[in-house]
Amino acid sequence: MNGKKRETPKSEGGGKQRGDGGPGPGRPEEPQSRWGAGDDAELESDYEALQAENAELKDRLLRAMADMENLLRRTEREKADTAKYAISNFARDVLTVADNIQRTIDAVPEDVIAGDPALKTFVDGVQVTERELLNMMDRHGIKRIDPKGERFDPNFHQAMLEIENPNVESGTVAEVVAPGYVIEDRVLRPAMVAVAKGGPKRPKPDGPEEAPRAANDDEPPVKPTGP
């Protein structure tokens, strides 16, 4: 022995030998993932949040569309009601004129009219005027209610007094104090009537009756419900 230490041979290129943890010849380096378990949980949370936001926006859109449809229907109904009932206030004022014409005709006895040709001509002219007024009102959807002999209906009639009459069914309109009027399907003014009592009772109609709407009523009527 010459006393010199024996050097360990190194591999070419200065690379690490096998077994030192390196890739070594023929062993590719394994790629490492950029996402960890925490990143996956965050993505899942974001996805659920987007789904909840989408559901909320869809619900808000559907509600807005429903509100718009309701608004359109309500607007169309109000438009139709305005076209039919816009003259209600004017019609009530005209009723006073119709009442005064009727009182004028009723105030002249028929026997006096028959004995006075000039008075008869005058009354005939007043009656013609009344017919023209009623025809004009009818063209605008205003109709007179003259319910004498009919069953008393609180929806269309207003009882002013009762008349004792055993020969007439109770609940029958015996006299009309003042005629009533309706405009289209609404009551403009109920008929003021005298109702008979003391006679046999009138049978009630089958089924519930729907109350009519007043001419200034903007809300639909509430139908009676059974038990």
Whole-prediction pTM = 0.57
pLDDT tens digits, 124-180: 999 999 999 999 999 988 999 999 989 999 999 999 999 988 888 888 999 999 999
pLDDT of residue 1: 46
Mind spelling out the 3-state secondary structure of 39-71? Answer: HHHHHHHHHHHHHHHHHHHHHHHHHHHHHHHHH
Within a domain: 190 = yes
Expressed as residue numbers, the domain containing 77 is 44-86
Last-in-domain residue among 140, 161, 185: 140
Task: Tell me: do 147 and 193 sit in the same domain.
Answer: yes
Task: Tell me: do 80 and 91 sit in the same domain.
Answer: no
The answer to whether the beta carbons of residues 198 and 167 sit under 8 Å apart is: no
Which of 4-8, 85-89, 189-193 holds the top average pLDDT?
189-193
Confidence band for 10, pLDDT divided at 50, 70 and 90: low
Within a domain: 101 = yes
Within a domain: 55 = yes
User: CA-CA distance, 124 to 135, in Å (whole number)?
Assistant: 16
User: CA-CA distance, 124 to 118, in Å (whole number)?
Assistant: 10
Residue 198: is its pLDDT beyond 70?
Answer: yes
Task: Tell me: do 119 and 147 sit in the same domain.
Answer: no
pLDDT of residue 46: 83
Task: Tell me: do 120 and 74 sit in the same domain.
Answer: no
Within a domain: 110 = yes
Higher pLDDT, 185 or 193: 193
Within a domain: 79 = yes
Within a domain: 225 = no
pLDDT of residue 214: 54
Within a domain: 185 = yes
Q: What is the CATH number of the domain that holds 180?
A: 2.30.22.10
Task: Tell me: do 68 and 53 sit in the same domain.
Answer: yes
Average pLDDT of every residue of the chain: 78
Number of domain units in the chain: 3
Within a domain: 73 = yes
Task: Tell me: do 163 and 200 sit in the same domain.
Answer: yes
Of 94, 196, 102, 198, nearest to 147 (Cα)?
A: 196
Task: Tell me: do 99 and 60 sit in the same domain.
Answer: no
pLDDT of residue 187: 92
Question: 25-39 burial string, b = 16+ CB within 10 Å, else e?
Answer: eeeeeeeeeeeeeee
pLDDT tens digits, 27-69: 555 555 555 556 777 888 888 889 999 999 999 999 999 999 9
Task: Tell me: do 128 and 159 sit in the same domain.
Answer: no
Last-in-domain residue among 140, 164, 180: 140
pLDDT of residue 100: 92
Residue 182: is its pLDDT beyond 60?
Answer: yes
Residue 220: is its pLDDT beyond 50?
Answer: no
Task: Tell me: do 167 and 184 sit in the same domain.
Answer: yes
The answer to whether the beta carbons of residues 105 and 127 sit under 8 Å apart is: yes
- What mean pLDDT is predicted for residues 58-82? 90
Task: Tell me: do 98 and 110 sit in the same domain.
Answer: yes
